[in-house]
Structure 1
Amino acid sequence: MTEPREEARLRFSEDRHVFVQLAQEIAQRIRVLSIDARLDCTVTHRAKDVGSFVKKAVIRGLTDPWNEIYDKAGVRIVVRHSGDLATAETLIRENFQVLWSSLDESPKEDDEDRLRYPRIHFQIKLYQPTNPDPTQPHKGYDCEVQLRTAASDLWASMSHKLLYKPSSGLPKDVRRSLYGLLALVEVYDREVQRAMDIIGESSDHFLNTVIDQCERIYYTFCTNAYNSELTRESVAVVLSTMNVDQQARYPEMLEEFAKRERYRLSEIYDRYGSTSEAYKNGLFVLLGQPESIAIFERLTGHSMLLEHAWQARLPEGLLEELQRVA
């Protein structure tokens, strides 16, 4: 009879591509869902390599590695600060089947004198129809999702190699120093959250909110950097075409527009966007800008209002280029 560890190694070697597919699909779904949730995050994914799978089984002395190793497929969500953790958690719980979770994002009442790495993990599955599709076996497996702030992700990436690898053999004083960095993680997250609260009370907060929404949607089509000053000016022009009630709803309107027109927008950015020859030759400048999402939305049913507002503040040629491809 094949030893359980060897049996698990052979099975994972054969099925690893299924976990690659699972991690890819879950990560992409989270990226799209984050737009609706207005969640600024980075989503990465991976399937565990066979060597790491076996090493984990050996180091931990697992007797049933296939069922005891939960991170064969893994997705990581990194949010800007601790204030976004609750939004990310809601996104996971409302859109996936959560098998179990480990939420350890804040110290317990009697742990105020201890430094700890905040762990927030979910074990999830994709929701399946009553009759599963046999051509999509990845949907029958589960995936680990890790949720971190940017600061805790930086610390965890370091500690994974230096603190949790038995081969590192660090002296106790060095290990203690590395754990001491957790205090900076806590301070960083707290101060960023405080800054975000202040920003939320600023006079141009709504302009920033719309820009953030444009950026989130734009980065599902493109990957280039952009001119932020032009973005602020352009979005201000777009907002001037609406009344107060419309402005308040505009982030949601952009979400709805992007969902409805995703195929058409994808074609436009693929053909004329920042990776195209036309763009590299100086044409379609606004297709290299996130505000192009809002401009396309206005050109669909509100073009005359936009043209009038645009002429008073920005070069007409920029808008005319988008009108030609809209």
Structure 2
Amino acid sequence: MSTDDVSSLTERYLQEEAALHSALDEWAERLTRNARRFDSGATVSGRVKSYRSFLGKAYRRAGAVRTWEQFGDLVALKAIFPTRQGVDLFSEWLNEQHAWSPSLDEKEGSPSELKYQAKQFDLCADDITDSTGTPIKIEVQVRTAASDAWYVVDHRLQYKGMVELTSDLKRKLNRLIVLTELFDEEVDAVIKHQATLPEYAAARLYEGLIKLSESLSDGYVRTTRPEGLLELVLRAYTEREIDSVGANLQTFTERHRDALVEIITRHHHGSESFLEARDWIYYEPEALLIAERAAQKPALLRSAIDGSDFQPLIEPMIGVFQTLKKR
């Protein structure tokens, strides 16, 4: 390589730095929005490789200087989920986003190894490019909160540690992987067993309500669980209907998505007609159940709320959501 190579790499980095940070922001927004479809507790964070780190990595191996095109981790993110179920569902979804050209590298050790397990994706999108119009390749790690805690500590002590750990100390650190695996496995086992318990039917329905509501509001919805509200509205469903509430609500929401967004937005803070004492209930996921009953079976809903503390709030909503039948 010529003596101009350091200058050319430096100039290219400085030329693309703004594009790299824009790519980080855009990917963080896209991944966060979609990760929370699978688990509202998911978090996404990331970084742009600093200039010094970039240059050091380019020249780490004497005589084998990396070119700009060989860097695939200048923008790196991690999607962290509370459970392994979230990791698996999101990874499966991510692998199906062909427009992002996903390439999955499952970092797994052999059964006899104590080795960090992770799902690492390389992604790129045609509309997120550098100054030359070339899509910026990014790296995304998908893992659980437990494994992320281990990774952060291990990365600090081993990868970037100033002192080389002895074999005994390395093994002590690696043995912690077993704890993270056991933690994630036991949590998954509890979740799967919990899902089979009949008394958790309402909890599963409520979780579905949250996801549907968040898909309409493009973010977190208020989930304060007003005492008795969910149970009250569920009385507006017949015995024959109650087992299919979730599926029917999904269909109803998709059919009236645009109209629902319009109505809910009209009753959120920032709209001209917003009145907190009346409209706070539109922030709750139960509002979707009220919308479906108001549009499909208003008489049953009125009968269910008659004489309740929520009647003054829900009664006006029936008239609002009945307009969905006319659209």
* Structure 2 counterpart of 1:256: 254
* Structure 2 counterpart of 1:21: 22
Q: What residue identity is the alignment partner of 1:85?
A: V
* Structure 2 counterpart of 1:103: 106
Q: 1:200 deviation in Å?
A: 1.0
* Structure 2 counterpart of 1:73: 75
* Structure 2 counterpart of 1:199: 194
Q: Do the aligned residues in 1 keep the contact of 2:122 with 2:140 (CA within 8 Å)? A: yes
Q: Distance between the aligned counterparts of 1:325 and 1:171, measured in 2? A: 69
User: Residues 318 and 6 (structure 1 numbering): CA distance in 2 closer, same or farther, change over 3 Å?
Assistant: farther
Q: What residue identity is the alignment partner of 1:76?
A: K
Q: Distance between the aligned counterparts of 2:79 and 2:42, measured in 1? A: 6
Q: Do the aligned residues in 1 keep the contact of 2:266 with 2:274 (CA within 8 Å)? A: no
Shifted more, 55-64 versus 88-97: the winner is 55-64
* Structure 1 counterpart of 2:143: 148
Q: Do the aligned residues in 2 keep the contact of 1:213 with 1:254 (CA within 8 Å)? A: no
Q: Which stretches in structure 2 are left out of the alignment for 5+ residues?
A: 322-327
* Structure 2 counterpart of 1:119: 118
* Structure 2 counterpart of 1:271: 270
* Structure 2 counterpart of 1:227: 224
Aligned length: 310
The Cα RMSD (Å) is: 3.8
1:160-239 correspondence to structure 2 within 5 Å: 160-167=155-162, 169-170=164-165, 172-219=167-214, 221=218, 223=220, 226-228=223-225, 230=227, 233-239=228-234
Q: What residue identity is the alignment partner of 1:121?
A: Q
Q: Which stretches in structure 1 are left out of the alignment for 5+ residues?
A: none
* Structure 1 counterpart of 2:324: none
Q: What residue identity is the alignment partner of 2:206?
A: I
User: Percent identity over the alignment?
Assistant: 18
* 2:122 match: secondary structure: strand
User: Residues 299 and 64 (structure 1 numbering): CA distance in 2 closer, same or farther, change over 3 Å?
Assistant: farther
Q: Distance between the aligned counterparts of 1:159 and 1:277, measured in 2? A: 50
Q: 1:145 deviation in Å?
A: 1.7
Q: Distance between the aligned counterparts of 2:69 and 2:58, measured in 1? A: 11
TM-score (norm 1): 0.76
* Structure 2 counterpart of 1:310: 305
Q: Distance between the aligned counterparts of 2:249 and 2:3, measured in 1? A: 57
Q: Do the aligned residues in 2 keep the contact of 1:22 with 1:139 (CA within 8 Å)? A: no
Q: Do the aligned residues in 1 keep the contact of 2:19 with 2:130 (CA within 8 Å)? A: no
Q: Distance between the aligned counterparts of 1:139 and 1:234, measured in 2? A: 52
Q: 1:149 deviation in Å?
A: 1.4
Which of these two proteins has the greater Rg computed from alpha carbons?
2
Q: 1:98-124 CA distances to partner (integer Å, 9 max, x unpaired)?
A: 35221135x53xx23x32111211111
Q: Distance between the aligned counterparts of 1:12 and 1:134, measured in 2? A: 14
TM-score (norm 2): 0.76
Q: Do the aligned residues in 1 keep the contact of 2:264 with 2:282 (CA within 8 Å)? A: no
* 1:269 match: secondary structure: coil
Q: 1:14 deviation in Å?
A: 2.3
Q: Do the aligned residues in 2 keep the contact of 1:20 with 1:46 (CA within 8 Å)? A: no
User: Residues 184 and 319 (structure 1 numbering): CA distance in 2 closer, same or farther, change over 3 Å?
Assistant: same
Shifted more, 209-218 versus 219-228: the winner is 219-228
User: Residues 124 and 134 (structure 1 numbering): CA distance in 2 closer, same or farther, change over 3 Å?
Assistant: closer
User: Residues 70 and 288 (structure 1 numbering): CA distance in 2 closer, same or farther, change over 3 Å?
Assistant: same
Q: 1:175 deviation in Å?
A: 3.6
Q: Distance between the aligned counterparts of 1:293 and 1:2, measured in 2? A: 65
Shifted more, 141-150 versus 1-10: the winner is 1-10
Shifted more, 89-98 versus 242-251: the winner is 242-251
User: Residues 99 and 236 (structure 1 numbering): CA distance in 2 closer, same or farther, change over 3 Å?
Assistant: same
Q: 1:225 deviation in Å?
A: 6.2
Q: What residue identity is the alignment partner of 2:196?
A: E
* Structure 1 counterpart of 2:48: 48
User: Residues 99 and 193 (structure 1 numbering): CA distance in 2 closer, same or farther, change over 3 Å?
Assistant: closer
Q: 1:15 deviation in Å?
A: 1.8
User: Residues 12 and 103 (structure 1 numbering): CA distance in 2 closer, same or farther, change over 3 Å?
Assistant: same
Q: 1:34 deviation in Å?
A: 4.7
Q: 1:189 deviation in Å?
A: 0.6
* 1:64 match: secondary structure: coil
Q: Distance between the aligned counterparts of 1:144 and 1:122, measured in 2? A: 6
* Structure 1 counterpart of 2:325: none
